[in-house]
Structure 1
Amino acid sequence: MPPRETILQTFDPSGVGLDNGNLYGLPFDYDSAGIIIFGVPWEVTVSYHEGTADGPGAVLKASPQLDLYDLDNPDGWQQGIYMPPMPDWIRQRSDAGRREASRVIQAMEQGVAIAGNPDLEAALAQVNRAGEQVNTWLRGETQRALGLGKRVGVIGGDHSVPLGAIQALAQQYPDFGILHIDAHADLRDAYQGFPYSHASIMSNVLALPQVSRLVQVGIRDIAHGEVAKINASQGRIVTHYDPVLKQRRYQGTPWQALCEEIIAPLPALVYLSFDVDGLDPKLCPGTGTPVPGGLELEEVFCLVRSLIASGRTLIGFDVSEVGAGDWDGNVAARAVYKLCNLMGLRA
C-alpha cells in the first residue's frame, strides 16, 4: 500500500465506492490510516434480541454506499480510516459463548440457582473467561494503535465490547469523561452473573479512576438500583433521562441549549460511547434491546458537534449494539463516519 501522501494525490473521493474490504471503500491500510476502527463481532450476554454480532459486518457492507463529502469536515476522509479484518476466533467464541450464556440466563429466569449446580457454574465460568479474552485482545490492539499515534473507534457487537479500548485510553490519559448515549444506564453489577455483560459496561468503566465524569443521554429504561447508584455518585454520574429532555423540548427549550447544558460537566477530554438503542428504534430496528422514544441521528450529531465547538477533544468512540440488517448498517456507517470527521476537527 502506498503512503498516505501518495493516496491523497491519487484517490478520487467522488468516485464509485470501492468494494475493497475497507470501510467506505477507502484505499488506506493500517500503516497509512490515522484512525483505526476495530469491529468486534461479539454478543454473548445479550438479554433480548440476537444479531448484533453481525453489526460490524453490516456497517462494513453498507459503508461504500456513502458519499465522502462531510459538511463538518469536508476533507475528513484524508485522515485515513482503516478497519482491520475481524478475528475469526472472536465470532467463534461469541457463538459458543452465546449458547452457554443462554443456558445460564434461561435457568435464572426460571428461578434456578446457579451456585451449587456444577453444569451451570461451568457454563458461567466459560462465558466469563471468553469475555475477559476479548477484553484483553481489544485493550492490547488499542494500546498498539495509540502507541503509533493513531486514534481508535470500535464497532460492536453488544455494548460490553468497548471496555478494553476504554481501559487502554485510561493508561494514556489521567483524566477524561464519558459521554454515553443509550436507552439504558448500563450500571448493573455483573448482570445475570456476567461481569462483562452489556448491561454492566458503565459500571465497569466507573471502576477506572481516570474516568472523572459519566454523562448519560437518552436513558429511558432503568432499574431502581441504577437510579440509586446515580443518586449516590455525588455528581460523578450525570443522567439526562429521555422523557425529561423531551418534556423540556415540548416546553420550548431548544435542543442546542440542552446540548450545551449536557456537555457542561464534561472535562477537556471525552470518550463517546454510543449505543444505537439510544436512537429512535426506527433508525436501528435490529438493535439488541430496542426501547420506544430516543434521539434522532442529527440530534446526536448536534450534541457531538457542540462538544467539539466547546473546545473539548474527542479521544475515541464506540458505536455499539448495531443490528444485522441493511438499514441498521447504513445508519451506523453514517454515525461512524461522522464521528471520525468530528474527532478529526480537534486531532
Structure 2
Amino acid sequence: MPAIRLFGLPTDINSSFERGAAAGPAAIRAALWSDRGNLASELGPEIGVDIAFTDDGDLPLAEDTPRDDAAIRRHVAMLHEDGEVPLALGGDHAVTVPLVEAAATCCGPLTILHIDAHPDLYDDFGGNPRSHASPFARICEAGHAARLVQVGIRTLNDHCRAQAKRFGVEIVPMAGFTPDAVPVLDGPLYISIDLDGLDPSAAPGVAHPEPGGLTVRELLALLHKQTAPIVGADIVECHPGRDVGGVTAILGAKLVRELAALIDRNGPWKP
C-alpha cells in the first residue's frame, strides 16, 4: 500500500477577501495529534499503525508565488519519485495549482474531485490570475484535468458558468443533493477539499462561509464511494481566526484520517 506524506503549505498570499488561512495547517495538525481523539478512520485503519503515514511539517514558503509554486512542485515530485502520496494542508486554495501540476507531470492528466462552495474558475479575480478564486481555471487551461467534477458549488455566477462550459466541468448541484449523485471516478484521482464546501454549521472557520452546504456525513459518503487510486489530495482554507471552538480544525483532522484511509484502501496508481 502507498505511504502517505502529510505537509503544510502556510500561505494565504492569494486570498481575495481576508488573510488567515496560512494558520490553517498548524491548527489542523494540532487537532490531528491532540489527545482529544485517536487516529482511527471510519474505514477502520489507523494512521501510523495500519497506514504508513509521515508528517513532514510545513514547507518553508516565502510568500512569493512563483518561488513557492516551484518549492511545492519539487516536494510533490520527490514524493512521487519515492512512490509516496502527497496529502497537503493549506493555506488558501491557490496552492492546488502547483500540487496538481506536479502530480499531473508524474501521472498524466488527472481526474479531479473538487469539494467547494465556489467553482474557483475565475479567469482573473481582482487583477490576480493566481487568486484562490482561479486555481481550476489555471489547471484546466494547462490540460492537467482529464475530468473535473465539482461538488458543493452554490455560488455559480454567469462568468464561472461560462468558464465551466468552456472547460467541460461537471458540477453536481446542491439542490436536492445526495451522495448517490456523485459519480465513482476513474484514476489517477486527485481530491481537493475546500472546507467552505461544508455547511458553515460544520465548518465555520473559513473566510467565505456560504449557507446550504454539505454535511459531514454527505462528504464522507461521497469520498468513501471512490475506488480509484489517489495520487494526491489537499485540504485548504481553514481560517482559525474565524473558527468556533476549533471545530473546523477538528474536522480538517478527521478528513486527514479519512483521506489517508481512502488512499491506503484504494492502493497505488499503476499507469
1:191 and 2:191 matched: no
Q: d(CA) in 2 for partners of 1:75 and 1:275?
A: 24
Q: Matched residues in 1 for 2:226 and 2:59: separation?
A: 33
Q: How does 1:93-172 map to 2 (within 5 A)?
A: 93-94=62-63, 130-172=64-106
Structure 1 residues 188 and 64, CA gap change in structure 2 (3 angstroms): same
Shift, 1:38, TM fit? 1.7
User: For the residues of structure 1 that align with 2:173 and 2:17, how far apart are their CA atoms?
Assistant: 22
Equivalent residue number for residue 231 of structure 2: 315
In structure 1, C-alpha distance between the alignment counterparts of 2:74 and 2:88, rounded to whole Å: 13
Please give the per-residue CA displacement for 1:35-70, whole angstroms capped at 9, x wherever unaligned: 111201111122224311100000111112331232
Q: Residues 276 and 320 of structure 1 are in contact (CA less than 8 Å); yes or no, is this contact kept in structure 2? A: yes
The counterpart of 1:277, out of the listed 170, 177, 196, is 196
Cα deviation for residue 331 of structure 1 reads 1.0
Alpha-carbon contact 1:73-1:345 (below 8 Å) kept = no
In 1, Cα distance between equivalents of 2:130 and 2:252: 23
Which segments of structure 1 move beyond 4 Å, counting only runs of 4 or more?
Answer: none
State how far apart, in whole Å, the 1-side matches of 2:59 and 2:110 are: 29
Matches within 5 A, 1:21-32: none
Alignment match of 1:69 (pick from 40, 51, 55)? 40
**Identity among equivalent pairs (%):** 28
5+ residue gaps, structure 1, are 1-32, 95-129, 247-254
The answer to whether the Cα contact below 8 Å between 1:58 and 1:328 also exists between their aligned partners in 2 is no
User: In structure 2, what is the Cα distance between the partners aligned to 1:280 and 1:47?
Assistant: 20
- Deviations 1:7-60, CA, capped at 9 Å, x for gaps: xxxxxxxxxxxxxxxxxxxxxxxxxx9211120111112222431110000011
What displacement does 1:75 show? 4.4
For these two proteins, the number of residue pairs brought into alignment is 259
Deviations 1:85-118 (A, max 9, x none): 3245x2xx44xxxxxxxxxxxxxxxxxxxxxxxx
Q: Shift in Å at residue 193 of structure 1?
A: 1.8
RCO higher in structure (CA 8 A, sep ≥6): 2
Kindly provide the CA deviation profile for residues 111-139 of structure 1, in whole angstroms up to 9, marking residues without a partner as x.
Answer: xxxxxxxxxxxxxxxxxxx1111111100
Aligned residues of 1:136 and 1:164 also touching (Cα < 8 A): yes
- 1:84 aligns with 56
Cα shift readout 1:159-182 (whole Å, capped 9, x = no counterpart): 001221211111111232110100
- Any stretches of 5+ residues in structure 2 without a counterpart? none
TM-score, L = length of structure 1: 0.70
The offset of 1:227, in angstroms, is 0.4
Letter of the structure 2 residue corresponding to residue 343 of structure 1: I
Offset at residue 301 of structure 1 (A): 1.1
- State the shift of 1:82 in Å: 1.9
Letter in 2 for 1:283: A
Give yes or no for the alignment of 1:341 onto 2:261. Answer: yes
| Superposition map of 1:276-315 within 5 A | 276-308=195-227, 312-315=228-231
CA RMSD after TM alignment: 1.8
Partner of 1:40: 9
Q: Which amino acid aligns with 1:185?
A: P
Checking the alignment, whether the CA contact within 8 Å between 2:40 and 2:257 is kept in structure 1 is no
* Counterpart among 8, 12, 20 of residue 51 in structure 1: 20
Distance 1:71 1:35 in 2: 17
Deviation at 1:257, TM superposition (A): 2.5
Kindly indicate whether the alpha-carbon contact (under 8 Å) linking 2:91 and 2:236 is maintained by their aligned counterparts in 1: yes
Q: Is the 8 A contact 2:20 2:239 kept in 1?
A: yes
Which letter does structure 2 place at the counterpart of 1:61? A
